Amino acid sequence: MNHADNKRLWSALQQHWKCISAVQMRDQFAQQDDRFIQMSIQAAGLLLDYSKNRLDSKALQLLLNLAEARDLKGWINRLQAADELGLGPSGHALHTLLRNPQKAEFFIDGKNIMPSIRQNLQRMQQFSEAVQQGRWLGFSGKRITDVVVIGSGSAYAAANMLYQALQDYRLDVPAIHFISTEPDKSLSHLLKSLQPSGTLFMLAGEFRRDSPVMQEAVRARNWLSQHFSGNKVLMQHFVAITADAQAVADFALPGRNIFLLDDFLDSRHALWSSMGLPLVMALGMPHFSSLLDGAHAMDQHFFHAELSENMPVIMALLGVWYRNILSLDNHVVIPVQARLSAFSRHLQQLLIIA
């Protein structure tokens, strides 16, 4: 798109806002009886009602014109094909493959990565079921009753948010405790209520020596050392989720205790890989698989729906409308249930990273 066309499209949006800025929402509904029908989308079990936003059908069409002029559909197609887009460590956007593990094959640099994705999910299931069923025991031979997840980053926050949101699907054993590395969320208080013989620590995040995750991990190790001695204790009471096994070398964990993140992922998408382990532990693999299926359904909607009926596209265009045309920089997300209380913070982290 050349500069003149770009300027014309933005100018049309700005001029149209001047025309409708004084129009009241009730008048828009009065003038358009089917406004809800025209401005709502259903996809992947979700409903998006955007009829109460301050725009009309012409503004929406102007936004769609802008998207088409910027070749948004072409970029979506390239994302679906996992072309090299300069995204993530590998340059490819491959997170959608994690949400579609039944896909037979996908080659990167001559290697089919789908078998390793399935193998990782199988490892997550086997380990979680061993803990859930009492086959993975603590050092003293007692069953694991509590799993403490120590982590940081957007994927950790996503796992915590989903753990709260999906509380109706939690298994009875083990109990899962997400511990933030923020100063006011100290691990010490929780440890007072736990039994060392039945506690498993799951480390997830950055493992630099001076990182908050590592500091809390050392605190947990010292707590265990007060009751048990020897490095073998760590083998039964610590697992790590990391992209770099060497990062947890100080803990001398064997390979079976380390769940590697796929090297083609960035932190935003790690939930669909090994960072989903706390959820598999809490909910069971069948429910985690359902979560993957739901994400895959939305991926398919995003890839194939027309722009005017595409839920993520419409939400993005509304963001353009408010920020670039109306100059409104704030975005309020109000969860309607307490179990979704962490949702807005998770979205905030994603936007900061993006």
The pLDDT score that the predictor gives to residue 232 is 74
Contact by Cβ (8 Å): 77, 27: no
138, 200 in Cβ contact below 8 A?
A: yes
Residues 62 and 9 sit within 8 Å (Cβ to Cβ) = yes
Sheet architecture: strand order including 238-242 = 175-180, 146-151, 199-204, 238-242, 258-260
- Amino acid at the residue 91: G
pLDDT of residue 339: 92
How far apart are alpha carbons 191 and 217 in whole angstroms?
A: 12
Q: How many residues does the chain have?
A: 354
CB count, 10 Å around CB of 266?
17
Residue type, 112: N
pLDDT value at position 83?
60
Mean pLDDT by 10-residue block, N- to C-terminus, for the chain (354 residues)?
83 96 94 95 96 96 96 91 56 79 85 90 96 94 95 86 94 90 72 94 80 86 85 86 79 87 76 93 96 95 97 97 94 89 84 72
DSSP-based three-state secondary structure for 242: strand
Angle of helix 114-132 relative to helix 285-304, nearest 10 degrees?
Answer: 150
Q: Which helix (H) or strand (E) holds 38?
A: helix 35-38
Instruction: Identify any residues that bridge with 259 across adjacent strands, giving them in sequence order.
Output: 241
Instruction: Show the CA angle centred on residue 330, arms to residues 327 and 335, nearest 5°.
Output: 145
Q: How far apart are CA 139 and CA 234, in angstroms?
A: 8
pLDDT of the residue at 86:
47
E strand spans, 123-198: 146-151, 175-180
Contact 236, 137 (CB under 8 A): yes
Q: Are 250 and 215 in contact (CB under 8 A)?
A: no
CB 84 within 8 A of CB 275: no
Q: Which domains can be identified in the chain, with CATH numbers?
A: 3-70+306-353 (no CATH), 96-293 (3.40.50.10490)
Q: How many CB atoms lie within 10 A of CB 86?
A: 7
Sign of CA dihedral 175, 290, 297, 270: positive
The residues near 169 (Cβ < 8 Å, ≥ 6 apart) are 283, 284, 287
H or E segment to which residue 165 belongs: helix 154-165
> Which of 246, 247, 220, 244 minimizes the C-alpha distance to 233?
220
- Residue 35 to residues 47, 49, 64, 197: CA-CA distances in angstroms? 15, 10, 18, 60
pLDDT digits (tens, 9 = 90+) for 142-183: 999 999 999 888 888 899 999 999 999 999 889 999 987 665
| pLDDT of the residue at 181 | 66
Task: Tell me 254's DSSP state.
Answer: -
